[in-house]
Every structure is written in C-alpha cells, then in structure tokens.
Amino acid sequence: MTLIKICGISTAETLDHCVREGADMVGFVHFEKSPRHIDLETMSALAALGRDRIETVALLVDPDDRLVARVAGTGVGWLQLHGRETPDRVAEIKAFAGLPVIKAVGIGEAEDLAAVTSYHLVADRLILDARPPAEADRPGGLGARFDWSLLDALDPAMPFMLSGGLDCDNVAEAVSMVRPFGLDVSSGVESAPGQKVPGLISRFIANARALAPSTREPR
C-alpha cells in the first residue's frame, strides 16, 4: 500500500482527520518563512496527540544542533531535512538527534539525480521534490510539479517518496507513472497556503490508494 504523508499540519482537528482517513505520516513545519510554520510548543502538543496513532515528522531547514536538540525534545518520531544539508550533515543530525531522518532532494533536471544515491546511503527515507526557482526564499517545490520522466534514470530498486505539485487530480497518475513507495502532499490539499481542507485530504488518500501498490519498497 502506498505510504501517504500529509505535510504542514497545524491543528489537532486536521491531525485527527488524517488519522481517521488512514494517512501514515503527518508533517509539522518549523521554518518561519513558511505559511505552515508552527512553534515548538504547538509541535510538542501535536506530536503527543499523534503518538501511537500516526508517525509524526518535524520539517526543518538547515538546522543547527541546538534547534535539532529542541525539536527532538518535542516527541516527534522523525526529522525531515529540507535545506542544503550535505550527506555528511544529514548523518551528523541523525546521530545527534537519535531519530530517523528523511531528506528532501530537489529535482529540476537530470543532473540533480546524482545526489540521490549519496543521500540514500545516509537518510532513512528520501523525498524527491521539485527544485525551487533560484530566486525563491523558501526550499521545496512550492506547489510545483517537476518532470517525473526524469526519474526513469534512477535505479528501479531505489525507494523514494514523491512530492511537488501533487493534488487530488494528478495523484493517481503519479502512482501509476512514477510508482514511488510514498507520497508527500501539502499545498495540494489546501484552499490557501496553510489552510488544510479535510475533504481534499480524504479525496487525495482515496485516489492514491485506488491503484495497485508500488513495486518500490523502503529499505
């Protein structure tokens, strides 16, 4: 069954809805430039609400060790690194936090695939996202879809989660064309930046799960 992560969760009501609808992971963003940013007190409360019900992920951008320690103390189950962290830095953060790590890798052209294997060796999971424009002040795909055919060049055994421009209308195409082991959605289930819509979450999960599961499996 395709793993589904709903990112940018900021309220208990939305987290509860994700649990009821069968999402596997929820993401909490701690990055002040993001419209989905939440403080660590809120993150701690949401992590406690999700405990033993759903996997919880804290999304960080180029964090220093002090922030990593504070976020690890909130009780989240995973860290997601969405900045320019090198493979060595990913390994350092994983060891320092004592938590499994997801690394997001931006894809915009064939040359970007060279980094995927290096990060796969140190991260527990990978998210392949659209590479942001050069002038962007935030990382990530920013709701944009990249050319999925670029991923044909990856080793077929390489497991990854897909992100970037996913929504209720294209998720079935993503599953059938790319066959990732997981999907990561945020803006595609919103009415406005940071405003999750329960009905869109439900529809996204139903459409993603309507097809046969992926042949790629996480290690």
Q: Give the containing element (helix H, strand E) for 182.
A: strand 182-185
User: Choosing from 18, 129, 167, 184, which is the catalytic residue?
Assistant: 129
d(CA 213, CA 192): 30
- Burial of 102 per CB tally in 10 Å (0-12, 13-18, 19+): buried
* Torsion angle, alpha carbons of 55, 177, 165, 150, to 10: 110
d(CA 74, CA 69): 9
146 three-class SS: coil
153 three-class SS: helix
Instruction: Please confirm, yes or no, whether 129 is among the known catalytic residues.
Output: yes
Helix, strand, coil tally for the chain in percent (to 5): 35, 20, 45
Enzyme catalytic residues = 7, 129
